[in-house]
Structure 1
Amino acid sequence: MLGLTVVDDVARVAAQIADDPRITMLVNNAGVGATAPLLQSDARAMSTMIALNVEALMRLTYAAVPAFVGRNAGTIINIASIVAVAPERLNGVYGGTKAFVLAFSQSLRQELADTNVHVQVVLPGATATDFWDIAGLPVQHLPQEIVMPADALVDAALMGLARNEFVTIPSLHDVGEWDTYEAARKAMADNLSTSKPAARYQSF
Protein backbone atom coordinates (compact mmCIF):
# COMPACT_ATOMS: atom_id res chain seq x y z
CA MET A 1 0.00 0.00 0.00
CA LEU A 2 1.36 3.40 -0.98
CA GLY A 3 1.57 6.17 1.58
CA LEU A 4 1.44 9.70 0.22
CA THR A 5 3.55 11.07 3.05
CA VAL A 6 6.51 9.04 1.77
CA VAL A 7 8.51 10.82 -0.94
CA ASP A 8 9.21 7.68 -2.99
CA ASP A 9 5.55 6.65 -2.92
CA VAL A 10 4.44 10.09 -4.07
CA ALA A 11 6.95 9.90 -6.90
CA ARG A 12 5.62 6.51 -8.02
CA VAL A 13 2.01 7.69 -8.02
CA ALA A 14 3.01 10.88 -9.83
CA ALA A 15 4.80 8.86 -12.51
CA GLN A 16 1.74 6.67 -13.02
CA ILE A 17 -0.48 9.73 -13.41
CA ALA A 18 1.91 11.33 -15.88
CA ASP A 19 2.32 8.20 -18.01
CA ASP A 20 -1.24 6.83 -18.19
CA PRO A 21 -3.37 8.54 -20.88
CA ARG A 22 -6.50 6.89 -19.48
CA ILE A 23 -6.33 9.19 -16.47
CA THR A 24 -8.49 12.21 -17.27
CA MET A 25 -9.36 13.37 -13.75
CA LEU A 26 -7.27 13.92 -10.64
CA VAL A 27 -9.05 14.23 -7.30
CA ASN A 28 -6.69 15.39 -4.57
CA ASN A 29 -8.66 14.16 -1.58
CA ALA A 30 -5.93 12.67 0.61
CA GLY A 31 -5.40 14.69 3.73
CA VAL A 32 -5.21 14.73 7.49
CA GLY A 33 -6.28 17.32 10.02
CA ALA A 34 -5.86 18.39 13.62
CA THR A 35 -8.11 20.05 16.15
CA ALA A 36 -5.68 20.67 19.01
CA PRO A 37 -4.20 24.18 19.36
CA LEU A 38 -0.74 24.65 17.92
CA LEU A 39 0.95 24.78 21.32
CA GLN A 40 -0.54 21.40 22.18
CA SER A 41 0.43 19.78 18.87
CA ASP A 42 3.40 17.60 18.01
CA ALA A 43 5.75 19.28 15.53
CA ARG A 44 6.47 15.99 13.73
CA ALA A 45 2.76 15.37 13.27
CA MET A 46 2.40 18.88 11.85
CA SER A 47 5.24 18.19 9.40
CA THR A 48 3.52 14.99 8.31
CA MET A 49 0.33 16.96 7.77
CA ILE A 50 2.15 19.45 5.56
CA ALA A 51 3.74 16.62 3.57
CA LEU A 52 0.35 15.08 2.82
CA ASN A 53 -1.91 18.12 2.54
CA VAL A 54 0.52 20.32 0.63
CA GLU A 55 3.49 18.53 -0.90
CA ALA A 56 1.72 15.37 -2.09
CA LEU A 57 -1.12 17.41 -3.59
CA MET A 58 1.34 19.69 -5.36
CA ARG A 59 3.44 16.81 -6.72
CA LEU A 60 0.45 14.88 -8.04
CA THR A 61 -1.01 17.99 -9.63
CA TYR A 62 2.26 18.80 -11.36
CA ALA A 63 2.34 15.24 -12.68
CA ALA A 64 -1.15 15.50 -14.13
CA VAL A 65 -1.16 19.01 -15.57
CA PRO A 66 1.35 18.57 -18.43
CA ALA A 67 -0.48 15.45 -19.66
CA PHE A 68 -3.87 17.15 -19.40
CA VAL A 69 -2.60 20.27 -21.16
CA GLY A 70 -1.01 18.14 -23.87
CA ARG A 71 -4.39 16.55 -24.57
CA ASN A 72 -6.19 19.86 -23.94
CA ALA A 73 -8.63 18.04 -21.68
CA GLY A 74 -8.84 16.95 -18.08
CA THR A 75 -10.16 17.86 -14.65
CA ILE A 76 -8.37 18.58 -11.39
CA ILE A 77 -10.43 18.61 -8.20
CA ASN A 78 -8.65 19.80 -5.07
CA ILE A 79 -10.34 19.24 -1.73
CA ALA A 80 -9.62 22.14 0.60
CA SER A 81 -11.78 23.13 3.59
CA ILE A 82 -13.76 26.07 4.90
CA VAL A 83 -10.79 26.71 7.19
CA ALA A 84 -8.97 27.97 4.09
CA VAL A 85 -10.99 31.17 4.65
CA ALA A 86 -11.75 30.67 8.36
CA PRO A 87 -8.42 29.49 9.84
CA GLU A 88 -9.40 30.47 13.39
CA ARG A 89 -11.74 27.48 13.61
CA LEU A 90 -9.19 24.68 13.87
CA ASN A 91 -5.46 24.01 14.24
CA GLY A 92 -3.46 26.73 12.53
CA VAL A 93 -1.18 24.39 10.59
CA TYR A 94 -4.20 22.56 9.21
CA GLY A 95 -5.79 25.87 8.25
CA GLY A 96 -2.55 26.93 6.61
CA THR A 97 -2.38 23.78 4.51
CA LYS A 98 -5.93 24.29 3.28
CA ALA A 99 -5.26 27.96 2.54
CA PHE A 100 -2.41 26.68 0.37
CA VAL A 101 -4.81 24.38 -1.50
CA LEU A 102 -7.14 27.29 -2.24
CA ALA A 103 -4.35 29.65 -3.31
CA PHE A 104 -2.66 26.94 -5.38
CA SER A 105 -5.95 26.19 -7.12
CA GLN A 106 -6.59 29.87 -7.82
CA SER A 107 -3.17 30.28 -9.39
CA LEU A 108 -3.49 27.04 -11.35
CA ARG A 109 -6.87 28.05 -12.72
CA GLN A 110 -5.35 31.33 -13.94
CA GLU A 111 -2.46 29.50 -15.61
CA LEU A 112 -4.80 27.07 -17.38
CA ALA A 113 -7.39 29.65 -18.41
CA ASP A 114 -6.58 29.25 -22.12
CA THR A 115 -6.93 25.45 -22.05
CA ASN A 116 -9.80 23.01 -21.68
CA VAL A 117 -8.40 21.74 -18.38
CA HIS A 118 -10.91 22.48 -15.62
CA VAL A 119 -9.91 23.19 -12.03
CA GLN A 120 -12.34 22.89 -9.15
CA VAL A 121 -11.60 23.49 -5.48
CA VAL A 122 -14.08 22.19 -2.91
CA LEU A 123 -14.34 23.73 0.56
CA PRO A 124 -16.25 21.31 2.80
CA GLY A 125 -17.41 22.17 6.27
CA ALA A 126 -17.61 19.53 8.98
CA THR A 127 -18.30 16.18 7.31
CA ALA A 128 -19.25 12.83 8.83
CA THR A 129 -16.05 10.89 8.13
CA ASP A 130 -13.26 9.37 10.20
CA PHE A 131 -11.34 12.63 9.74
CA TRP A 132 -12.56 13.76 13.14
CA ASP A 133 -11.57 10.59 14.98
CA ILE A 134 -8.08 10.80 13.49
CA ALA A 135 -7.89 14.51 14.33
CA GLY A 136 -8.77 13.78 17.95
CA LEU A 137 -12.39 14.98 18.13
CA PRO A 138 -15.03 12.30 17.43
CA VAL A 139 -17.67 13.60 15.03
CA GLN A 140 -20.38 12.62 17.52
CA HIS A 141 -19.12 15.41 19.79
CA LEU A 142 -19.84 18.09 17.19
CA PRO A 143 -23.18 19.91 16.94
CA GLN A 144 -24.96 17.70 14.44
CA GLU A 145 -26.57 20.66 12.67
CA ILE A 146 -23.14 21.61 11.29
CA VAL A 147 -22.14 18.09 10.15
CA MET A 148 -22.89 17.09 6.55
CA PRO A 149 -23.18 13.41 5.56
CA ALA A 150 -20.30 12.37 3.31
CA ASP A 151 -22.59 11.27 0.47
CA ALA A 152 -24.35 14.64 0.48
CA LEU A 153 -20.98 16.38 0.28
CA VAL A 154 -19.89 14.25 -2.67
CA ASP A 155 -23.18 14.85 -4.49
CA ALA A 156 -22.87 18.60 -3.95
CA ALA A 157 -19.26 18.64 -5.17
CA LEU A 158 -20.22 16.75 -8.32
CA MET A 159 -23.14 19.11 -8.90
CA GLY A 160 -20.72 22.00 -8.62
CA LEU A 161 -18.44 20.31 -11.12
CA ALA A 162 -21.35 19.78 -13.52
CA ARG A 163 -22.14 23.48 -13.21
CA ASN A 164 -18.53 24.31 -14.10
CA GLU A 165 -17.90 25.98 -10.76
CA PHE A 166 -14.39 26.84 -9.74
CA VAL A 167 -15.09 27.16 -6.01
CA THR A 168 -17.69 24.82 -4.50
CA ILE A 169 -18.76 25.36 -0.89
CA PRO A 170 -21.47 22.77 -0.26
CA SER A 171 -22.67 24.31 3.04
CA LEU A 172 -22.89 27.91 1.81
CA HIS A 173 -26.53 28.54 0.96
CA ASP A 174 -26.05 32.12 -0.25
CA VAL A 175 -23.41 32.04 -2.96
CA GLY A 176 -23.57 35.81 -3.00
CA GLU A 177 -21.55 35.80 0.22
CA TRP A 178 -18.67 34.11 -1.58
CA ASP A 179 -19.05 36.46 -4.55
CA THR A 180 -18.81 39.44 -2.19
CA TYR A 181 -15.72 37.95 -0.53
CA GLU A 182 -14.04 37.38 -3.90
CA ALA A 183 -14.97 40.83 -5.18
CA ALA A 184 -13.39 42.43 -2.11
CA ARG A 185 -10.24 40.34 -2.53
CA LYS A 186 -9.91 41.24 -6.20
CA ALA A 187 -10.62 44.91 -5.54
CA MET A 188 -7.46 45.08 -3.41
CA ALA A 189 -5.26 43.48 -6.06
CA ASP A 190 -4.04 46.64 -7.79
CA ASN A 191 -3.26 48.30 -4.46
CA LEU A 192 -1.25 45.56 -2.77
CA SER A 193 2.16 46.53 -4.16
CA THR A 194 3.20 50.18 -4.43
CA SER A 195 6.45 52.16 -4.33
CA LYS A 196 5.54 53.98 -1.11
CA PRO A 197 4.06 52.88 2.20
CA ALA A 198 0.44 53.78 2.84
CA ALA A 199 -0.05 57.19 4.47
CA ARG A 200 -0.97 55.61 7.82
CA TYR A 201 2.56 54.15 8.04
CA GLN A 202 4.35 57.42 7.27
CA SER A 203 3.46 59.31 10.44
CA PHE A 204 1.67 58.95 13.77
Structure 2
Amino acid sequence: MTNSNQKGLAIITGASSGIGAIYADRLAAQGHPLLIVARRKDRLQQLATQLKKRYTVNVETLSLDLANPSDLLTLETKLKSDPVDILVNNAGSGGLGPLSSTTADKTEALVRLNIIAVTRLSQAALDGFRDRGKGTLINLGSIIAFWPSAAAAVYSGTKSYVVNFTRSIAMEFEGTDIRIQVVMPGPVRTEFFSSQGMSDSVFPDDYYITADELVDAALSGLEQGEIVTNPTMAEPKVWEDMENTRTTYFAAVSSGKVAPRYL
Protein backbone atom coordinates (compact mmCIF):
# COMPACT_ATOMS: atom_id res chain seq x y z
CA MET A 1 0.00 0.00 0.00
CA THR A 2 1.23 3.49 -0.77
CA ASN A 3 0.08 6.97 0.16
CA SER A 4 1.43 9.90 -1.81
CA ASN A 5 -0.58 12.49 0.15
CA GLN A 6 2.09 12.88 2.80
CA LYS A 7 1.17 14.80 5.93
CA GLY A 8 3.06 16.24 8.91
CA LEU A 9 5.30 14.39 11.33
CA ALA A 10 3.71 12.05 13.87
CA ILE A 11 5.65 11.02 16.97
CA ILE A 12 4.60 7.87 18.82
CA THR A 13 6.17 6.84 22.12
CA GLY A 14 6.19 3.24 23.33
CA ALA A 15 6.05 2.26 19.68
CA SER A 16 8.09 -0.94 19.67
CA SER A 17 5.05 -3.20 20.13
CA GLY A 18 1.37 -3.36 20.98
CA ILE A 19 -0.76 -0.23 20.89
CA GLY A 20 2.13 2.04 19.93
CA ALA A 21 3.12 -0.11 16.96
CA ILE A 22 -0.47 -0.12 15.68
CA TYR A 23 -0.68 3.67 16.01
CA ALA A 24 2.52 3.84 13.94
CA ASP A 25 0.99 1.62 11.27
CA ARG A 26 -2.29 3.53 11.08
CA LEU A 27 -0.68 6.98 10.98
CA ALA A 28 1.81 5.85 8.34
CA ALA A 29 -1.13 4.57 6.30
CA GLN A 30 -2.64 8.07 6.52
CA GLY A 31 0.56 9.47 5.00
CA HIS A 32 2.34 10.78 8.09
CA PRO A 33 6.12 10.48 8.29
CA LEU A 34 6.97 8.99 11.65
CA LEU A 35 9.34 9.26 14.54
CA ILE A 36 8.85 6.13 16.63
CA VAL A 37 10.29 6.06 20.13
CA ALA A 38 10.88 3.24 22.62
CA ARG A 39 13.65 1.61 24.63
CA ARG A 40 14.08 -1.48 22.45
CA LYS A 41 16.20 -0.34 19.52
CA ASP A 42 16.05 -3.64 17.63
CA ARG A 43 12.25 -3.76 17.76
CA LEU A 44 12.00 -0.15 16.60
CA GLN A 45 14.28 -0.75 13.64
CA GLN A 46 12.35 -3.88 12.67
CA LEU A 47 9.07 -1.95 12.77
CA ALA A 48 10.56 0.94 10.81
CA THR A 49 11.71 -1.45 8.05
CA GLN A 50 8.24 -2.98 7.83
CA LEU A 51 6.48 0.39 7.66
CA LYS A 52 8.83 1.76 5.00
CA LYS A 53 8.11 -1.27 2.82
CA ARG A 54 4.36 -1.01 3.37
CA TYR A 55 3.92 2.75 2.99
CA THR A 56 5.78 5.50 1.13
CA VAL A 57 6.64 7.48 4.25
CA ASN A 58 9.85 8.23 6.09
CA VAL A 59 10.24 6.46 9.43
CA GLU A 60 12.89 7.51 11.94
CA THR A 61 13.62 5.81 15.25
CA LEU A 62 14.84 7.00 18.64
CA SER A 63 15.83 4.54 21.35
CA LEU A 64 15.03 6.35 24.60
CA ASP A 65 14.00 5.57 28.17
CA LEU A 66 11.56 8.38 28.92
CA ALA A 67 11.84 7.77 32.67
CA ASN A 68 15.42 9.02 32.29
CA PRO A 69 15.53 12.86 32.47
CA SER A 70 18.25 13.22 29.83
CA ASP A 71 16.43 10.92 27.38
CA LEU A 72 13.20 12.78 28.04
CA LEU A 73 14.93 16.09 27.31
CA THR A 74 16.13 14.69 23.96
CA LEU A 75 12.55 14.10 22.82
CA GLU A 76 11.31 17.38 24.30
CA THR A 77 13.92 19.22 22.27
CA LYS A 78 12.80 17.38 19.14
CA LEU A 79 9.19 18.38 19.77
CA LYS A 80 10.18 22.01 20.19
CA SER A 81 12.47 22.19 17.16
CA ASP A 82 10.55 20.16 14.55
CA PRO A 83 7.12 20.89 13.02
CA VAL A 84 5.15 18.04 14.62
CA ASP A 85 1.51 17.40 13.65
CA ILE A 86 0.69 14.55 16.04
CA LEU A 87 2.05 13.32 19.36
CA VAL A 88 0.84 10.00 20.74
CA ASN A 89 1.93 9.65 24.37
CA ASN A 90 1.64 5.87 24.56
CA ALA A 91 4.77 4.95 26.55
CA GLY A 92 3.88 3.81 30.04
CA SER A 93 4.39 1.10 32.61
CA GLY A 94 2.06 -0.80 34.91
CA GLY A 95 4.17 -1.55 37.96
CA LEU A 96 1.43 -3.92 39.08
CA GLY A 97 1.42 -5.46 42.54
CA PRO A 98 1.00 -4.14 46.08
CA LEU A 99 3.07 -1.11 47.04
CA SER A 100 4.88 -3.19 49.66
CA SER A 101 6.29 -5.46 46.93
CA THR A 102 8.27 -2.74 45.14
CA THR A 103 10.91 -0.16 45.95
CA ALA A 104 10.61 3.60 46.18
CA ASP A 105 13.03 3.94 43.24
CA LYS A 106 10.84 1.75 41.01
CA THR A 107 7.78 3.69 42.09
CA GLU A 108 9.48 6.97 41.22
CA ALA A 109 10.48 5.61 37.80
CA LEU A 110 6.85 4.70 37.14
CA VAL A 111 5.70 8.19 38.10
CA ARG A 112 8.41 9.72 35.91
CA LEU A 113 7.25 7.71 32.90
CA ASN A 114 3.48 7.83 33.38
CA ILE A 115 3.20 11.41 34.66
CA ILE A 116 6.36 13.51 34.23
CA ALA A 117 7.09 12.34 30.69
CA VAL A 118 3.46 12.68 29.58
CA THR A 119 3.26 16.18 31.07
CA ARG A 120 6.52 17.52 29.68
CA LEU A 121 6.03 16.02 26.23
CA SER A 122 2.44 17.25 26.07
CA GLN A 123 3.55 20.76 27.00
CA ALA A 124 6.37 20.75 24.44
CA ALA A 125 4.01 19.55 21.71
CA LEU A 126 1.31 22.05 22.62
CA ASP A 127 3.80 24.93 22.47
CA GLY A 128 4.50 24.00 18.85
CA PHE A 129 0.83 23.43 18.05
CA ARG A 130 -0.02 26.86 19.44
CA ASP A 131 2.60 28.52 17.26
CA ARG A 132 1.33 26.73 14.13
CA GLY A 133 -2.36 26.98 15.03
CA LYS A 134 -3.03 23.25 14.77
CA GLY A 135 -1.95 19.83 15.98
CA THR A 136 -3.18 16.65 17.64
CA LEU A 137 -2.27 15.33 21.09
CA ILE A 138 -3.32 11.81 22.06
CA ASN A 139 -2.65 10.59 25.59
CA LEU A 140 -3.25 7.01 26.69
CA GLY A 141 -5.23 6.73 29.90
CA SER A 142 -6.84 3.58 31.28
CA ILE A 143 -10.17 2.50 32.71
CA ILE A 144 -8.28 1.80 35.96
CA ALA A 145 -8.22 5.59 36.45
CA PHE A 146 -11.76 5.12 37.83
CA TRP A 147 -11.04 1.89 39.69
CA PRO A 148 -8.76 2.13 42.78
CA SER A 149 -6.85 -1.11 43.12
CA ALA A 150 -4.84 -2.66 45.93
CA ALA A 151 -2.65 -4.26 43.26
CA ALA A 152 -2.13 -1.11 41.20
CA ALA A 153 -2.05 1.89 43.51
CA VAL A 154 0.59 3.86 41.61
CA TYR A 155 -0.58 2.81 38.15
CA SER A 156 -4.19 3.70 38.96
CA GLY A 157 -3.10 7.02 40.42
CA THR A 158 -0.93 7.94 37.44
CA LYS A 159 -3.71 7.16 34.97
CA SER A 160 -6.16 9.26 36.99
CA TYR A 161 -3.68 12.10 36.56
CA VAL A 162 -3.46 11.53 32.81
CA VAL A 163 -7.25 11.69 32.47
CA ASN A 164 -7.69 14.91 34.46
CA PHE A 165 -4.59 16.52 32.95
CA THR A 166 -5.69 15.79 29.39
CA ARG A 167 -9.29 16.86 29.92
CA SER A 168 -8.15 20.09 31.55
CA ILE A 169 -5.83 21.08 28.72
CA ALA A 170 -8.57 20.18 26.24
CA MET A 171 -10.69 22.82 27.96
CA GLU A 172 -7.79 25.27 27.64
CA PHE A 173 -7.63 24.76 23.87
CA GLU A 174 -11.39 24.56 23.27
CA GLY A 175 -12.46 26.40 20.14
CA THR A 176 -9.07 26.06 18.43
CA ASP A 177 -7.83 23.70 15.70
CA ILE A 178 -5.77 21.81 18.27
CA ARG A 179 -7.28 18.38 18.92
CA ILE A 180 -6.72 16.75 22.31
CA GLN A 181 -7.87 13.25 23.23
CA VAL A 182 -7.44 10.79 26.07
CA VAL A 183 -8.01 7.13 25.17
CA MET A 184 -9.29 4.75 27.86
CA PRO A 185 -8.20 1.16 27.16
CA GLY A 186 -9.42 -1.76 29.19
CA PRO A 187 -7.69 -5.13 28.84
CA VAL A 188 -5.89 -5.32 25.47
CA ARG A 189 -4.00 -8.28 23.98
CA THR A 190 -0.48 -6.87 24.20
CA GLU A 191 2.69 -7.56 26.19
CA PHE A 192 1.39 -5.44 29.09
CA PHE A 193 0.93 -8.30 31.55
CA SER A 194 3.63 -10.68 30.28
CA SER A 195 6.26 -7.91 30.52
CA GLN A 196 5.53 -7.81 34.24
CA GLY A 197 5.67 -11.56 34.74
CA MET A 198 1.88 -11.91 34.82
CA SER A 199 -0.60 -13.89 32.78
CA ASP A 200 -3.43 -12.45 30.69
CA SER A 201 -5.70 -14.75 32.72
CA VAL A 202 -5.94 -11.96 35.28
CA PHE A 203 -9.05 -11.05 33.24
CA PRO A 204 -11.52 -13.39 31.48
CA ASP A 205 -10.83 -13.90 27.77
CA ASP A 206 -13.96 -12.05 26.71
CA TYR A 207 -12.77 -8.86 28.44
CA TYR A 208 -9.96 -8.40 25.89
CA ILE A 209 -9.83 -6.61 22.56
CA THR A 210 -6.86 -6.49 20.20
CA ALA A 211 -4.51 -3.55 19.85
CA ASP A 212 -5.78 -3.11 16.27
CA GLU A 213 -9.36 -2.81 17.51
CA LEU A 214 -8.33 -0.39 20.24
CA VAL A 215 -6.42 1.97 17.93
CA ASP A 216 -9.02 1.88 15.15
CA ALA A 217 -11.76 2.75 17.63
CA ALA A 218 -9.62 5.49 19.19
CA LEU A 219 -8.89 7.10 15.82
CA SER A 220 -12.58 6.94 14.96
CA GLY A 221 -13.36 8.69 18.25
CA LEU A 222 -10.76 11.34 17.44
CA GLU A 223 -12.40 12.03 14.07
CA GLN A 224 -15.77 12.29 15.83
CA GLY A 225 -14.35 15.02 18.05
CA GLU A 226 -14.31 13.04 21.29
CA ILE A 227 -12.07 14.26 24.10
CA VAL A 228 -12.50 11.06 26.10
CA THR A 229 -12.76 7.86 24.06
CA ASN A 230 -13.92 4.64 25.72
CA PRO A 231 -13.45 2.06 22.94
CA THR A 232 -15.26 -0.80 24.72
CA MET A 233 -18.18 1.22 26.14
CA ALA A 234 -21.15 0.21 23.98
CA GLU A 235 -23.65 2.58 25.57
CA PRO A 236 -22.58 6.27 25.70
CA LYS A 237 -25.23 6.94 28.36
CA VAL A 238 -22.98 5.22 30.92
CA TRP A 239 -20.39 7.97 30.40
CA GLU A 240 -23.07 10.66 30.40
CA ASP A 241 -24.38 9.35 33.74
CA MET A 242 -20.84 9.43 35.18
CA GLU A 243 -20.43 13.03 34.05
CA ASN A 244 -23.78 14.00 35.52
CA THR A 245 -22.85 12.36 38.82
CA ARG A 246 -19.53 14.22 38.82
CA THR A 247 -21.38 17.51 38.36
CA THR A 248 -23.76 16.60 41.18
CA TYR A 249 -20.82 15.75 43.43
CA PHE A 250 -19.12 19.07 42.81
CA ALA A 251 -22.34 20.95 43.56
CA ALA A 252 -22.83 18.92 46.73
CA VAL A 253 -19.36 19.72 48.11
CA SER A 254 -19.66 23.41 47.28
CA SER A 255 -22.14 24.15 50.08
CA GLY A 256 -19.72 26.29 52.11
CA LYS A 257 -20.83 24.43 55.25
CA VAL A 258 -19.53 21.44 57.18
CA ALA A 259 -21.86 18.44 56.74
CA PRO A 260 -24.08 17.85 59.81
CA ARG A 261 -22.68 14.33 60.33
CA TYR A 262 -19.28 15.84 61.19
CA LEU A 263 -20.62 18.25 63.80
The two structures have a TM-score, normalised by structure 1, of 0.92
For residues 54-203 of structure 1, what are the structure 2 equivalents within 5 Å?
Answer: 54-88=115-149, 90-140=151-201, 142-201=203-262, 203=263
2:77 to 6, 11, 15: 15
Deviation for aligned residue 1:89? 7.2
Larger strand proportion of the pair:
2
Identity %: 36
CA RMSD of superposed structures (Å): 1.6
Cα distance between partner residues in 2 of 1:191 and 1:143: 37
AA matched with 2:155: Y
Q: Which has the higher contact order (CA 8 A, sep 6+)?
A: 1
What amino acid is the match of 1:181?
M
Deviation at 1:137, TM superposition (A): 1.3
The letter for the 1-side match of 2:65 is G
Match in the other structure for 2:93: 32
Instruction: Give the secondary-structure state (helix, strand or coil) at the position aligned to 1:24.
Output: strand
| Amino acid across the alignment from 1:104 | F
1:37 shift after superposition: 1.8
More helix per residue: 1 or 2? Answer: 1
Work out the number of aligned pairs and report it.
Answer: 201
- 1:90–1:74 CA distance, 2 compared to 1 (3 A): farther
Q: Per-residue deviation at 1:143?
A: 1.7
Alpha-carbon spacing, 1:87–1:58, altered in 2? closer, same or farther (3 Å): same
Q: Which SS does the other structure have where 2:138 is aligned?
A: strand
TM-score (norm 2): 0.72
Deviations 1:95-123 (A, max 9, x none): 00000000101111111113221111001
Structure 1 unmatched runs, 5+: none
